[in-house]
Amino acid sequence: MEYEAIIRLEVHAQLLTESKIFCGCSTTFGAPPNSNTCPVCTGLPGVLPVLNHRVVEFALRAALATHCQIARTSRWARKNYFYPDLPKGYQISMYESPIAQQGYLDLTLNGQSKRVRLTRIHMEEDAGKNIHDTSSDASLVDFNRAGVPLLEIVSEPDLRTAEEAGAYLRSLRALLQYLEVCDGNMEEGSLRCDANISVRPRGRTEFGTKTEIKNLNSFRAVEKALHYEITRQSETLASGGRIVQETRLWDADREVTRPMRSKEFAHDYRYFPDPDLLPLSVEDDWVQAVKATLPELPAERRDRLMRQYGLPAYDAEVLTARKDVADYYEAAVRTYPADPKAISNWVMDSVLRVVKDAKLDAGLRITTWPCPPEHLGTLVRLIGEGTISGKIAKTVFDAMRTSGKAPDTLIAEQGLSQVSDAGALEAQIAQVLAAHPDKVAEYRAGRERLLPFFVGQVMKATQSKANPQLLNELLKKKLAE
Ligand SMILES: [Zn+2]
């Protein structure tokens, strides 16, 4: 029997506001424990929450960019549960009346596009953090994160494979980064994901029993945990077993999911409207004003890059995955508009490789680029004009990174210009041919496969500075004599 997975993701995105959602405390990550706290976010008696206007604005940005219907009136709810990192004994969230519903996100995977429906987007406050110190056997709690604003973005069960779930999460992260509402850093926990998953025999329409997987703190973890869980559930059902509805934890070291607790239901939380906060009313003017500030979004930009520069879909996808990468690419193309595809290759192969190796892409913005986009544009122009070869360009690129100098300066300083002088090349060719009379004879007897050998020898003699096109031409002429 073949099984099909049904996956729904619940994503929590920490918002990049400077202060918390219901008080004026700073949201700065990494501050000393409990330094960003006040009576409101530590839940002291008698305090009242005051809503941060900017949090609603960020929620509207995300809702508009995902084509959601925005509720003119929505309501705050208390989600009641006990945990030491939750000082009030409840979390302020939204329940039956969220700010946004019924949106969608389009993703592309292996050249195919797929629409994933969004059930809802709502705002809520984050909890603090428990720290279990094994050396002193103490449990500590840090409330710096308590009250940091979150968006919860819930998809419909439209995803069918682990790869689709990964692609959805990547698209969503790119979108939130474009909107500048979340930095998308999964390692620091500013983007978190829980996955609901069930399997059913292919062809059946009703859903099977689902489990929820927590602790997915990287794209790799999401995909691996889903693969594991799809296999586990399918094998359980195939052998006549039963799936238990429960919350499972992804163990990244052992690469397995294991039971954490039986799945809670909504009624376990005793939701009720928060009496300390008025219903949230969003006027149409405000929605329109936020709409007017939305940037060009990743999907639109991808299509435009393909149209405007004739880029393949793959290139456009890679370049628009981050707004700053797309900005960098377009700045380089403005320096040298004659060959947008060559610039795309350089950005993907060289620039992004350095960025990834040095982990310069952890935050919302890449702060240190290997070189300014203008220098990259100039480098590609110098290759296009035949001043340097592609091979030498790699050397120049590395020197640009370490010195910060412009490519033309480096080429002049290090004498890296290509030898395009036919006379000089002919002299080098003559030397090479004289040194290898046997090979020349073989070539002339019909072994034309030897041409690259001669090219290599001349290149070696010129330290790779020979203009390859001219060299090929001259060599063939000389060998035909
Ligand atoms: Zn506070």
Query: What is the rounded distance in angstroms from the CA atom of residue 319 to the CA atom of residue 324?
Result: 9
Contact 192, 126 (CB under 8 A): no
The whole-model pTM stands at 0.80
d(CA 42, CA 140): 14
Average pLDDT, the chain: 90
Q: From ligand 1's centre to the CA of 270, what distance in Å?
A: 25
Question: What is the reported pLDDT for 266?
Answer: 66
As beta bridge partners, residue 107 has 114
CA of 272 to the centre of ligand 1 (A): 23
Cα separation, 454 vs 258, in Å, equals 62
From CA 116, how far away is CA 168, in angstroms rounded?
A: 8
Q: Name the DSSP letter for residue 73.
A: E
Distance, CA 37 to ligand 1 centroid (Å)? Answer: 4
List the structure tokens of 470.
């001219």
The pLDDT of residue 308: 96
Contact 308, 314 (CB under 8 A): no
Write the pLDDT tens digit of every residue in 377-433. Answer: 999 998 888 888 888 888 889 999 888 889 888 888 877 777 777 788 888 888 898
The 10s digit of each residue's pLDDT in 57-100 is 999 999 999 999 999 999 999 999 999 999 999 999 999 999 99
In whole angstroms, give the CA distance from residue 109 to residue 275.
Answer: 45
Pairing of strands 191-201, 149-155: unpaired
What burial letters (b/e) apply to 56-78, b meaning 16+ CB within 10 Å? bbbbbbbbbbbebebbeebbbbb
What is the distance in A from the centroid of ligand 1 to the CA of 35? Answer: 10
d(CA 239, CA 234): 9
Rounded Cα distance between 479 and 481, Å, is: 5
3-state secondary structure of 192: strand
- Return the pLDDT at 431: 86
Which residues are bridge partners to 247 per DSSP? 212, 261
**Residue 263's pLDDT band (boundaries 50, 70, 90)?**
low
Residue 302 burial (CB < 10 Å; 0-12/13-18/19+)?
A: buried
Residue 417's identity, in one-letter code, is S
Angle between helix 373-384 and 390-403 (nearest 10): 160
Two tokens, residue 462: 């010129």
Question: What's the confidence (pLDDT) of residue 69?
Answer: 96
Q: Position 420: which residue type?
A: S
Q: Max Cα separation, the chain?
A: 99
Is the four-CA dihedral 378, 381, 387, 393 of positive or negative sign? positive
How many angstroms from the chain centroid is the CA of residue 384? Answer: 32
- Going from the Cα of 142 to the center of ligand 1, the distance in angstroms, rounded, reads 12
Give the model confidence (pLDDT) of 337-366 as tens digits.
999 999 999 999 999 998 888 888 777 778
Which ranges of 195-272 does DSSP label H, i.e. alpha helix? 219-238
Q: How far is the CA of 27 from the centre of ligand 1 (A)?
A: 9
Specify which residues 262 forms β-bridges with: 246
Q: Give the DSSP H/E element, type plus range, for residue 147.
A: none
Instruction: Using the mean position of ligand 1's atoms as its centre, give its distance from the Cα of residue 144 in Å.
Output: 8
Ligand 1 centroid from CA 20, angstroms: 7
Looking up tokens 């120049």 gives 396
In angstroms, what is the span from residue 265 Cα to ligand 1's centroid? Answer: 30
Question: Rounded distance, CA 425 to CA 432, Å?
Answer: 11
Q: Is the pLDDT of residue 264 over 70?
A: no
Q: Express each pLDDT in 143-198 by its tens digit.
A: 999 999 999 999 999 999 999 999 999 999 999 999 999 988 888 889 999 999 99
Identity of the residue numbered 200: R
Sort strands 90-94 and 138-142 into parallel, antiparallel or unpaired.
Answer: unpaired
Ligand 1 mean position, distance from CA 86 (Å)? 13
Contact (Cβ atoms closer than 8 angstroms) between residue 15 and residue 182: yes
Cα 38 to ligand 1 centre (Å)? 4
* C-alpha of residue 26 to centroid of ligand 1, in Å: 8
Q: What's the distance, CA 33 to chain centroid?
A: 29
Q: Ligand 1 centroid vs 78 CA: distance in angstroms?
A: 18
Contact predicate 167/107, CB 8 Å: yes
Do 317 and 302 form a contact (C-beta atoms < 8 A)? Answer: yes
**How far apart (Å, rounded) are the C-alpha atoms in residues 110 and 63?**
27
User: Distance, CA 410 to ligand 1 centroid (Å)?
Assistant: 53
The amino acid at 340? P
Cα 417 from Cα 411, distance rounded (Å): 6
Mean pLDDT over 301-327 rounds to 92
Which of 1-10, 129-138, 144-153, 273-282 is predicted least confidently? 129-138
Residue 152 CA to ligand 1 center (angstroms) comes to 21
The pair phi, psi for residue 87, each rounded to 5°, is: -65, -30
